[in-house]
Structure formats: C-alpha cells, structure tokens
Amino acid sequence: MIAIGADHGGFELKEKIKAYLDEKGIEYVDYGCNGTESVDYPVYAEKVAEAVATKQAEKGILCCGTGLGMMLCANKKEGVRAICTNDSFSVKFSRLHNNANVIAFGGRTMGIEAVLYNLEIFLNTPFEAGRHQKRVEMYDTIL
C-alpha cells in the first residue's frame, strides 16, 4: 500500500497522481487534504510519514507547493527517508543507494509528466542493499 497526502498547494497534483495509481491498479490510502482551502502541510506530512514509519505503507507520496516542506517534515520521522527532486537520475539512485521510502513533489514547481515519470522510477526501482545497507542503517541512527 502507498500512503499519499498533500496540502492545498499540492492538492491538484495529488488528485492527478491518484488517477495514475488507479489506472495502474496500485493500492493507496489518501491521508488528505481534501481541497484547495489553505491547510498546514506538517499535518499531512506527519500522517504519511507515520504510515511509512510503522510499515502500514510500503512507500509514501507527498505533494505541496514545492515539495520541500513535506520532505523536511517527513524526514523528522525515524525510519523515513524522503526525497524531493525533479532529476530522474537522483530519483533512481535514491532508491538504489539510499532506499528512499517517501517522495515529495511540488504542485507549483513540477509538471505532471515529469512527476509521473519520476514516480514510476521511484516505485519500480529496488534498493541495491550490499554496501549501501550499512550506510542506510547509519542514517537511521542519526536522530
């Protein structure tokens, strides 16, 4: 299961991503928000991060205006490794080397085609483990 959430700045992007997940038959839980009325992004980042940290969700997707507030908040939760980038190479290596488990997107900064392209990479690229396993474990000890 994928956990997905957004604030008002990412709401419309979240809805487009949900349409993509529906089309692909990927199961998800939507943690809100439910419209474009102004809300506080940390509320939704925490819900999605909690679902990932407790392993209710395998991965998380967060959308806000830039993706940055969501990424910053999600990374405060132990066991969460959140990224925010429009660079496909970095998305791929965030999975291979960093075992990233949350991706944040910017509804005001990223186009839907690039978002879906990068989401597909994020969802389908495995963690390489090996020499990266220890480094990810070290990351998780920094509290």
Q: Which is nearer to ligand RB5, 71 or 116 (CB)?
A: 71
132 is catalytic: no
Window of 22-30, 49-57, 59-67, 122-130 that interacts with ligand RB5 by CB under 6 A: 59-67
Sheet holding 102-106, edge to edge: 28-30, 2-6, 59-64, 102-106, 82-83
SS3 10: coil
Of 45, 51, 65, 74, the one binding ligand RB5 (CB under 6 A) is 65
Active-site residue, 97 included: yes
Contact string 4-43 vs ligand RB5 (x = CB under 6 A)? ---x-x-------------------------------x--
Measured from the CB atom, the residue of 12 and 120 that comes closer to ligand RB5 is: 12
Residues 6+ apart with CB under 8 A from 24: none
| Nearest CA among 91, 96, 103 for reference residue 128 | 96
Whether residue 73 has a cis bond before it, omega within 30° of 0: no
Cα 141 vs. chain centroid, distance in angstroms? 21
Which residues contact ligand RB5 (rule: CB under 6 A)?
7, 9, 41, 64-66, 68-69
By annotation, the residues acting in catalysis are 64, 97
